[in-house]
């Protein structure tokens, strides 16, 4: 598969993922009559559903990373070269922003809205570290032990992590950057992005160490959220 096709798949998948995250958040709030639990349930279910579809359909083309920390893990494992990994990460970040813009356009809202939702402090950072650790561990062990189940494994983990983490599990630097451009239910203040990304990188690094210890043979990282 050519790099151009792989990048197109990564871009489409990441954009559709963010359009779903933000769009379902807007719709959930609009239809829940102020019930935050129902809005979160709608947001989590829509995100998990689209992740399953995108990973199953685009995984054979690009590996369906949709996430810079998944791409960094692939580079660490030797599955990608430096240039490929950098191209993936750039496309993921740009496409994530495009997905947020698309969601806003579908709901007739201003296309770019600097986030106002405060997400900061030790509990939030710990939550992001745990969320990213669990996601990467699911992927790293899943691609080796149960590769056919990876779409369901990732979707199931993200659905659960929306609920068991205080941060609602961003677990993705590209997603975090893009969600700083929406004032919807899914948003985050731009000032809080740095803390989230640092926590995500730490969680991802720990997951790589633990996965290597649990499964010493190199795993071919391909599919993720």
pLDDT at 223: 46
Distances (CA, A) of 88 to 5, 36, 62, 70, 174: 11, 34, 9, 10, 11
List the chain domain ranges: 3-214
CA angle 88, 93, 98 (to 5 degrees): 120
Fold of 3-214: Glycerol uptake facilitator protein (1.20.1080)
Give the whole-angstrom CA distance, residue 158 versus residue 19: 16
Give the whole-angstrom CA distance, residue 213 versus residue 84: 26
Q: What does the block give as tokens for 127? A: 């939550």
What number of helices (H) and strands (E) belong to the chain? Answer: 8, 0
HSE-up (13 A, CA, CB side) for residue 102? 16
pLDDT tens digits, 74-120: 999 889 999 999 999 999 999 999 999 999 999 999 999 999 999 99
Per-residue confidence in pLDDT tens, the chain, 225 aa: 899 999 999 999 999 999 999 999 999 999 999 999 999 999 999 999 999 999 999 999 999 999 999 999 999 988 999 999 999 999 999 999 999 999 999 999 999 999 999 999 999 999 999 999 999 999 999 999 999 999 999 999 999 999 999 999 999 999 999 999 999 999 999 999 999 999 999 999 999 999 999 987 654 555 444
Given the structure tokens 């499964």, which residue do they identify?
A: 215
């Amino acid at each position: 598969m050519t790099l151009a096709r792989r990048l197109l798949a990564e871009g489409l998948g990441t954009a559709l993922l963010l359009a779903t995250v933000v769009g379902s958040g807007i719709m959930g709030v609009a239809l829940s009559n102020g019930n935050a639990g129902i809005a979160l349930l709608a947001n989590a279910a829509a995100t998990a559903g689209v992740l399953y579809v995108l990973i199953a359909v685009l995984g054979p083309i690009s590996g369906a990373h949709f996430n810079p920390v998944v791409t960094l893990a692939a580079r660490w494992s030797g599955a990608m070269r430096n240039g490929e990994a950098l191209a993936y990460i750039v496309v993921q970040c740009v496409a994530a922003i495009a997905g947020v813009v698309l969601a806003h356009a579908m709901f007739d809202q201003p296309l770019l809205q600097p986030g106002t939702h405060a997400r900061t402090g030790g509990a939030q950072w710990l939550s992001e570290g745990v969320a990213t650790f669990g996601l990467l561990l699911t992927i790293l062990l899943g691609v080796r032990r149960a590769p056919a189940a990876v779409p369901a494994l990732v979707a199931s983990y993200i659905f659960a992590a929306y609920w068991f983490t205080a941060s609602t599990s961003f677990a993705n630097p590209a997603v975090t950057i893009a969600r700083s451009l929406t004032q919807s239910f899914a948003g985050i203040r731009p000032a809080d992005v740095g803390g989230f990304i640092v926590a995500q990188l730490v969680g991802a690094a720990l997951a790589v160490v633990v996965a290597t210890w649990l499964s010493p043979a190199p795993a071919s990282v391909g599919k993720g959220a």
